[in-house]
Amino acid sequence: MSTDLTLHQRRRDPTPAELAGIPWLRLLKGTEYERAVGHIKVADAMPGDYLCRIGRPVTYWFGVVEGLLKMSSDNAQGQTVTFSGLPPGGWFGEGTALKREAYRYNIQALRRSVVAGLPVDTFHWLLDNSIGFNRFVMNQLNERLAQFIAAREIDRMNNPDLRVARSLAALFNPVLFPGVGDVLRITQQELAYLVGLSRQRVNEALTALEAAQTIRVEYGGLRVLDLDALRSNDFARAVHAA
């Protein structure tokens, strides 16, 4: 596969295994399912590829089949602000697709990834014709709101261990990212990009979280042992006191 081609030029039909990894397809019935499957395209994104850029018009509703993306923007000082990591199973940009507006964020691949796209016109057709799809999108919007509120809280946290804990908890959201399961395939450098800390400081935080028996560092990823603890205020107070 030539990396000289744009991501759009690399699009192709999904395989049956890739379709099986799209969580909302199982909620569709009959012609709803057939229409969606007939319009979905997938593409192999290389590290650094952009799916969405600020100011560009929305054309697809996107999801992650494999890999890891990040959602970010630049502030007035020219600094990059990361809103969220996007692991497998995550679909994003439904608010932008609903309003058919220009993107207010960038979506970039952190590693080689397989991404799926549903044309925005098909997205609106499903909204008009599928109760199951409507419920999925409503749940997405509700969880997304909570996610961004949590992201604002994380940005204001001064304790690096707590920043890493809450960022990991967000990546293990079973509603937004059902493809993750109990193990997140992520490197310390990728996590550092998402949290906004150095790789060395992330390593120290992971060591502390592992000592607290909330996670276990495994080859190629992280296993969460106590998701509720990563999210809890009691854990936050314990970290602050440490």
For position 133, which CATH number holds? 2.60.120.10
Q: Is residue 8 part of a domain?
A: no
Specify whether 233 is located in the same domain as 194: yes
Q: Is residue 179 part of a domain?
A: yes
Structure-token pair, residue 172: 């293990």
For 208-231, write each residue's pLDDT tens digit.
Answer: 999 999 999 998 899 999 988 888
Q: Is residue 4 part of a domain?
A: no
Please tell me the pTM assigned to this model: 0.85
Specify whether 121 is located in the same domain as 162: no
Note the pLDDT of residue 9: 85
Does the structure show a pLDDT above 70 at 28?
A: yes
Specify whether 72 is located in the same domain as 179: no
Note the pLDDT of residue 239: 58
Give the whole-angstrom CA distance, residue 33 versus residue 89: 18
For the ranges 60-64, 73-77, 89-93, which has the lowest average pLDDT? 73-77
Q: Is residue 106 part of a domain?
A: yes
Specify whether 35 is located in the same domain as 136: yes
Q: Which has the closest alpha carbon to 151: 69, 82, 74?
A: 82
**Which pLDDT band holds residue 113 (cuts at 50, 70, 90)?**
very high
**Which pLDDT band holds residue 199 (cuts at 50, 70, 90)?**
very high
Q: Which has the closest alpha carbon to 70: 95, 103, 107, 113?
A: 107
Specify whether 75 is located in the same domain as 148: yes
Specify whether 27 is located in the same domain as 104: yes
Specify whether 142 is located in the same domain as 193: no
- What's the rounded mean pLDDT across residues 102-109? 93
Note the pLDDT of residue 76: 63
Q: Is residue 11 part of a domain?
A: no
- Domain end call among 152, 171, 192: 152
Q: Is residue 6 part of a domain?
A: no
Q: Which domain holds residue 211?
A: 158-241
Give the whole-angstrom CA distance, residue 4 versus residue 233: 48
- Domain end call among 152, 169, 204: 152
**Which pLDDT band holds residue 111 (cuts at 50, 70, 90)?**
very high
Specify whether 148 is located in the same domain as 164: no
Count helices and strands in the chain by DSSP H and E runs: 10, 11
Q: Is residue 5 part of a domain?
A: no
For 134-174, write each residue's pLDDT tens digit.
Answer: 999 999 998 888 776 666 666 666 788 888 998 898 899 88
- Domain end call among 110, 133, 152: 152
Give the whole-angstrom CA distance, residue 141 versus residue 148: 11
For the ranges 27-41, 120-134, 199-213, 218-232, which has the lowest average pLDDT? 218-232
Specify whether 119 is located in the same domain as 173: no
For position 185, which CATH number holds? 1.10.10.10
Q: Is residue 56 part of a domain?
A: yes
Specify whether 222 is located in the same domain as 145: no
Tell me how many domains the chain contains: 2
Specify whether 89 is located in the same domain as 166: no
Specify whether 144 is located in the same domain as 169: no
